[in-house]
Amino acid sequence: MLLARDLAEDIRARRTTPRDVLNECVLSSAEQEGDIHAFQTFNLQACREAVADEGLAATPLAGLPVAVKDIFDTAGLTTTYGSDFFLDHVPRTDAAVVRQVKRAGGLIFGKTKTTEFAFLKPTDTCNPRRLTHTPGGSSSGSAAAVAAGIVPLALGTQTAGSVLRPASFCGVTGYKPTFRLIPTVGMKVYSWHLDTVGLFGARVADVAFGAGAITGRDLDLADADITPPRFALVRTPRDHLADAGAHAALEAAVRAATAAGATVTEIDIPVEIEAADAAQPVIQNFEGALALADEYDRELLSPMLTIHLREAGTIGAEAYDAARRTSKRARQRLGDLFADYDALLTFAAPGEAPEGLDSTGSPALNRLWTLMGTPCVSVAGLNGPTGLPIGIQVVGRFGRDYRTLAAAAFLERAISG
Amino acid sequence: MLLARDLAEDIRARRTTPRDVLNECVLSSAEQEGDIHAFQTFNLQACREAVADEGLAATPLAGLPVAVKDIFDTAGLTTTYGSDFFLDHVPRTDAAVVRQVKRAGGLIFGKTKTTEFAFLKPTDTCNPRRLTHTPGGSSSGSAAAVAAGIVPLALGTQTAGSVLRPASFCGVTGYKPTFRLIPTVGMKVYSWHLDTVGLFGARVADVAFGAGAITGRDLDLADADITPPRFALVRTPRDHLADAGAHAALEAAVRAATAAGATVTEIDIPVEIEAADAAQPVIQNFEGALALADEYDRELLSPMLTIHLREAGTIGAEAYDAARRTSKRARQRLGDLFADYDALLTFAAPGEAPEGLDSTGSPALNRLWTLMGTPCVSVAGLNGPTGLPIGIQVVGRFGRDYRTLAAAAFLERAISG
């Protein structure tokens, strides 16, 4: 995989150039794209023009190529939202985060394949770790492009589990920042209380570097900051949804973290927090049925999404309001919990990537944490019984992204060490 | 003015038809649009086709024409966002609320003029109450179209004061619901923590009827529910920004409410709430600079907006995060306040509509209440010293829109009685 933070340092130290890195990405893409199908659209001509700029090396992203999930508007560049109706759609303006990437000196390498409107209908993207398996979704192409070493960084989004799950399946780092740390303006909305912009990179240090560069916030991790955290291993009534391989991986992570000096306290999830797990689909479905109301009424959706939204459209305002109240109480209770812990440890996915491309797998172990709006990181480095990757989810406190990333980096080092 | 709730009743009772109401609106528009300039685009052919549907009378909106601020996407209908760059922009899909209006049986009569990206640059729309005066902004055309009796209902948006202020200036009812009660999906974003979809109508009963029909929520007011509320007359350090006419109107409203049986308790605004007034521009500017980053970088904005966003872009993440925390504390404190009061009374605008079209007036007395996310209603019926309208702002508790509308309707009746 391409290491974003190291590549940026190499560019700044003149050990390589934005042009050379771009060429490496193009070559990697040429070799692998035929097997992986990560990209909906490439943007190579613009990238080639951009690397002519001598000032690029001094920018925060140092001219690194960034892949963008095709759920974000890109000015002048086809943006399909994974929908046949938008196959030839060319937006007039860039999504806010796309413009932030450009301002930070990143190159928009291309648009990565997404499930239809970032919901469930799979793409033809294959998992670079084993081509017969799904890369997960909905940010399928972004996770695969990083895992294949085509790009050092890629943007994704998560409404239920669409960053953490593909990161786990593909063996890359997925980072879902605090809700709205990165603006969603110019992304196709599915659920306005849930849609969250996230980032894929090789290691925790790479997504931290990328998010810091894009947002201008102090997120880049210095080695010295990675001190042993206080982890809570959080047990939920849904743990049985994780298979034996996922349980073994989580146990291995706990052992590694403990051996490296972290404290790991096993706790049962407070009932007020767990109650929000059932609230998440209510909110996602109610809002999705409104967000895509026009496409639904005009019959522009796949049968899979049509059937789903037909049922979603029956959710009443009272049930929705109740779900929002449940969510609010859970967020408050979760805030209290972080008085005692720096981060929580839990499953990033139910197990290894399932075989076949008919399903992108289940977000059942991610939903709650999306609704909580908390920063989450899928830490790579462990494998399941068949040799495919299994990520460990590190959940931090709302607004404490740096601390969360530092805890995730500690775990990553403990696992690899 | 056209009374939405009564017209819908008349249509259902077969005293009139959607076709006759449409014709009345078209006639009114033909007579006045040359003076008022409320509309960016008309959609009359589609309306004429729609009224042929016999089933329209039985729908929640009964086939009433609704004007839509040109900040909302409309499929196949030009949508400019008040920007020269988007003058020929035709979206592929309807904004969520536009589709909700259609589902409820409303006719999209046309798109009303908005200031550039719903910020400050004025349109050429004139105040129907006195053509030499501004109708306010940014929902200029929507307020004017209702005030002129062209349409019974119109959609607007408020980020600082863009529903309450034009409603006050034009002598119509403006209703800003609880934050996100009506989805913003498909509107051009300026500030994702502030942008709120609102509604204009002749009377409180009309906006309550309209919002209930559009959202499917129980908001329509029955006469029996309008019981005397417990009002707090809230004094703020910014009251001096309201002129003598506005103070006289607010005093008259208090006298009328008291005489009609309401309790009105004068209180000083708690300091934690007032602190959020200064936080609102920080949030609006920080987010606006990101939301319009692409248009800014590509120099697609007016000089007025360019200069504003240049300064807005200097706000750092720390100041923004601090403003968000201040806002959160203020919202909590405001919730406590509503244990004792059904609604707050305050100014809807600093006075009568200013003369001239060079400025849409000041949102200084609205900003705080937008940031609080609370339902707000501008109640019409009072006039200032020169005979132009002055609205009274009724602020309710977050999520308690029905109670807020009922309190506003009580005040409206007290004022007119």
What is the pLDDT of chain B when averaged over all its residues?
Answer: 97
Q: What is the pLDDT of residues A273-310, one digit of tens each?
A: 999 999 999 999 999 999 999 999 999 999 999 999 99
pLDDT in tens, A175-213: 999 999 999 999 999 999 999 999 999 999 999 999 999
The pLDDT assigned to B224 comes to 66
Confidence of residue B226 (pLDDT cuts 50, 70, 90): confident
CB B118 within 8 A of CB B106: no
Told to judge if A162 belongs to the known catalytic residues of this protein, a careful annotator would answer: yes
Q: Check B69, B102, B113, B188 and give the catalytic one.
A: B69
Question: Which one from A162, A168, A327, A378 is the annotated catalytic residue?
Answer: A162
Asked if the Cβ–Cβ distance from A192 to B215 is below 8 Å, we say no
Chain B CB within 8 Å of residue A84 CB: no
Reply yes or no on whether the pLDDT at B227 is more than 90: no
Is A69 designated active site?
yes
Pairing of strands B153-158, B39-42: unpaired
Q: Would you state the pLDDT for residue B222? A: 78
**Nearest-by-Cβ selection for A75 from B99, B192, B294:** B294
B155 touches chain A (CB under 8 A): no
Cβ-based burial of A251 (10 A; exposed 0-12, middle 13-18, buried ≥19): exposed
Name the A residues in 95-154 with CB < 8 Å from any B CB.
95-96, 98-100, 102-103
For residue B22, is pLDDT > 90? yes
Please check the confidence at residue B315 and state whether its pLDDT lies above 90: yes
In a 3-state reduction of DSSP, which class is residue B155?
Answer: strand
H or E, element range at B66: strand B65-69
Would an 8 Å CB–CB cutoff place B92 in contact with chain A? yes
pLDDT value at A224 more than 70:
no
**What does the pLDDT average to over A48-66?**
97
Please provide the average confidence, as pLDDT, over all residues in chain A. Answer: 97
For residue A93, the chain B residues in CB contact (below 8 A) are 294-295
Of B185, B217, B294, the CB nearest to A94: B294
pLDDT tens readout for residues A351-376? 999 999 999 999 999 999 999 999 99
Q: What is the structure's pLDDT at A227?
A: 85
Q: Indicate the DSSP class of residue B56.
A: G
pLDDT average, residue stretch B201-230: 93
Is A317's CB within 8 Å of B217's CB?
yes
- Position A310 scores a pLDDT of 98
Query: CB distance from B214 to chain A under 8 Å?
Result: no
Over 80: is that where the pLDDT of A63 sits?
yes
Is the model's pLDDT at A223 over the cut of 90?
A: no
pLDDT, position A47:
98
The tens digit of pLDDT for each residue in B365-389 reads 999 999 999 999 999 999 999 999 9
* Average pLDDT for A322-333: 97
Q: In the sheet that B196-201 helps form, which strands lie side by side, from edge to edge?
A: B39-42, B107-112, B65-69, B153-158, B196-201, B173-176, B376-383, B389-395, B343-347, B230-235, B263-268
Q: What is the dihedral of CA A387, A388, A392, A398, to 10 degrees?
A: 170
pLDDT of residue B219: 97
Q: What is the dihedral of CA A164, A166, A172, A173, to 10 degrees?
A: -20
DSSP B185: T
Phi, psi (deg, nearest 5) at residue B388 = -85, 155
Tell me the C-alpha distance between A162 and B21, whole Å.
48
pLDDT at A101 over 80: yes
Residues of B in contact with A293 (CB under 8 A): 94, 96, 99-100, 103
pLDDT digits 0-9 by tens, B273-306: 999 999 999 999 999 999 999 999 999 999 999 9
- Whole-number Å distance between alpha carbons of A409 and A89: 39
Statement: residue A222 has pLDDT above 90 = no
Pairing of strands A107-112, A39-42: antiparallel
* Span A222-250, average pLDDT: 93
- Given this model, what pLDDT does residue A226 score? 75
CATH numbers and ranges of domains, chain A = 4-223 (3.90.1300.10), 224-273+325-416 (3.90.1300.10)
Is the Cβ of A180 closer than 8 Å to some Cβ of chain B? Answer: yes
Q: Is A142 a catalytic residue?
A: no
In chain A, what residues touch B95 (CB-CB under 8 Å)?
294
| Contacting residues for B206 by C-beta, under 8 A, at least 6 apart | B3, B4, B5, B152, B153, B173
pLDDT at A19: 98
Please state the three-class secondary structure of chain A as a single string.
Answer: CCCHHHHHHHHHCCCCCHHHHHHHHHHHHHHHHHHHCCEEEECHHHHHHHCCCHHHHHCCCCCCEEEEECCECECCECCCCCCHHHCCCCCCCCCHHHHHHHHCCCEEEEEECCCHHHCCCCCCCCECCECCECCCCCCHHHHHHHHCCCCCEEEEEECCCCCHHHHHHHCCEEEECCCCCCCCCCECCCCCCCCEEEEEECCHHHHHHHHHHHHCCCCCCCHHHCCCCEEEEEECCCHHHCCHHHHHHHHHHHHHHHHCCCEEEEEECCHHHHHHHHHHHHHHHHHHHHHCHHHHHCCCCCHHHHHHHHHHCCCCHHHHHHHHHHHHHHHHHHHHHCCCCCEEEEECCCCCCCEECCCCCCCCCCHHHHHCCCCEEEEEEEECCCCCEEEEEEECCCCCHHHHHHHHHHHHHHHHC
